């Protein structure tokens, strides 16, 4: 069992009512017709939401996970009416990625969309894949790659140094590849999500709920995000509507990052009365 035991989207302030999440699919039906999409970590959380959205837009999806997740694949397929395949694969193990990619190619052909969403992401393959594997992967032309990193990938953050470093590596890998592989018909983009209440993220990062409360106070729109919101953005970025988007790093975080980073954010707690006193004092200051 997960979370606060409910589906309530907790919010910090009244402004959250101005920003209700839109949970339905935004793109025109059929946008992904005849497209094959490969989503790592596609069986849970954000990955499952993205798979469901792409699938409902017509894509044939392949989801990868360390576990056997055919049941999830079937469930999504039933909901959307399009085929969803499941492959077992550990993205930290180059041989396993290689095998999964081979199976994928045999079963459904080369993917048009690759979403690198598994928690570990896969940074290793680029350096450790066998020449053979690279060849298979580099055959994947005309594909749109998308990596899911995090808002602290650029700035870094206390307590998550290894994950921050790995995600930063993924980002620079993607921007490098965006510059290098445009000529093969490939695009690479990145979504940096702020906090979204998936079981995976919150049970591990915030078992007591302490952190959720803290975060809500620094999210400008006053609420957490939802998997469906990430899924709509991802569906746009991997679609042909975004064929001129490559090397982009897109923050989707309800304005959390800009609120955190701004030096004077702490002053949000200053009351109207305190502001009045401060203003009077400032006006009375003379000289430098």
Ligand X SMILES: NC(=O)c1ccc[n+]([C@@H]2O[C@H](COP(=O)([O-])OP(=O)(O)OC[C@H]3O[C@@H](n4cnc5c(N)ncnc54)[C@H](OP(=O)(O)O)[C@@H]3O)[C@@H](O)[C@H]2O)c1
Write out the catalytic residue numbers.
152
One residue of 4, 33, 107, 182 binding a second copy per CB under 8 A:
182
One residue of 34, 106, 272, 285 binding a second copy per CB under 8 A:
285
Q: Does 111 bind ligand X (CB under 6 A)?
A: no
- Sheet bearing 187-193, strands edge to edge: 84-88, 60-65, 36-40, 113-116, 144-148, 187-193, 249-252
Which among 31-39, 102-110, 179-187, 192-200 is the span making contact with ligand X, rule CB under 6 A?
192-200
Site residues (CB under 8 A) for a second copy, limited to 78-97: none
- Shortest distance (Å) from residue 203 CB to a second copy: 4
- Shortest distance (Å) from residue 262 CB to a second copy: 3
Q: Which is nearer to ligand X, 140 or 170 (CB)?
A: 170
Work out whether strand 249-252 and strand 113-116 pair parallel, antiparallel, or are unpaired: unpaired
Pick one of ligand X, a second copy, none as the site partner of residue 161 (Cβ within 5 to 8 A by kind).
Answer: a second copy
Q: Which is nearer to ligand X, 89 or 113 (CB)?
A: 89
d(C-alpha 265, C-alpha 187), whole Å: 36
d(C-alpha 279, C-alpha 185), whole Å: 57
Taking phi over 0 as left and psi of -120 to 50 as alpha, with beta for the rest, 195 belongs to beta
88: tokens are 């077992």
Work out whether strand 60-65 and strand 84-88 pair parallel, antiparallel, or are unpaired: parallel
Q: Which residues bind ligand X (CB under 6 A)?
A: 40-41, 43-47, 64-67, 89-92, 117-121, 148, 150, 193, 195-196, 198, 200-201, 288
């Amino acid at each position: 069992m997960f979370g606060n035991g409910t589906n309530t989207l907790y919010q910090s302030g009244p402004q959250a009512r101005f920003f209700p999440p839109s949970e339905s699919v935004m793109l025109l039906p059929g946008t992904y017709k005849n497209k094959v999409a490969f989503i790592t970590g596609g069986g849970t959380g954000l990955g499952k939401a993205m798979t469901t959205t792409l699938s409902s837009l017509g894509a044939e999806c392949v989801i990868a996970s360390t576990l056997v997740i055919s049941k999830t694949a079937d469930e999504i397929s039933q909901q959307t009416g399009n085929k969803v395949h499941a492959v077992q694969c550990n993205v930290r193990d180059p041989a396993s990625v290689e095998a999964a990619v081979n199976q994928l190619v045999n079963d459904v052909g080369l993917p048009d969309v690759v979403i690198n969403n598994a928690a570990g992401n896969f940074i290793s393959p680029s350096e450790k894949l066998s020449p053979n594997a690279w060849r298979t992967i580099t055959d994947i032309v005309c594909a749109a790659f998308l990596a899911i990193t995090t808002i602290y990938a650029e700035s870094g953050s206390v307590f998550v140094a290894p994950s921050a470093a790995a995600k930063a590596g993924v980002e620079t890998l993607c921007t490098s590849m965006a510059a290098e592989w445009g000529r093969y018909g490939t695009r690479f983009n990145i979504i940096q999500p702020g906090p979204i209440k998936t079981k995976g993220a919150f049970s591990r990062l915030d078992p007591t709920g302490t952190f959720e409360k803290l975060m809500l106070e620094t999210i400008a729109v006053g609420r957490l995000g939802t998997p469906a919101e990430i899924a709509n953005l991802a569906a746009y970025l991997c679609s042909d509507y975004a064929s001129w988007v490559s090397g982009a790093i897109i923050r989707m975080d309800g304005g959390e990052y800009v609120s955190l980073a701004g030096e004077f954010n702490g002053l949000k707690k200053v009351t109207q009365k305190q502001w009045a006193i401060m203003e009077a004092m400032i006006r009375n200051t003379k000289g430098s």
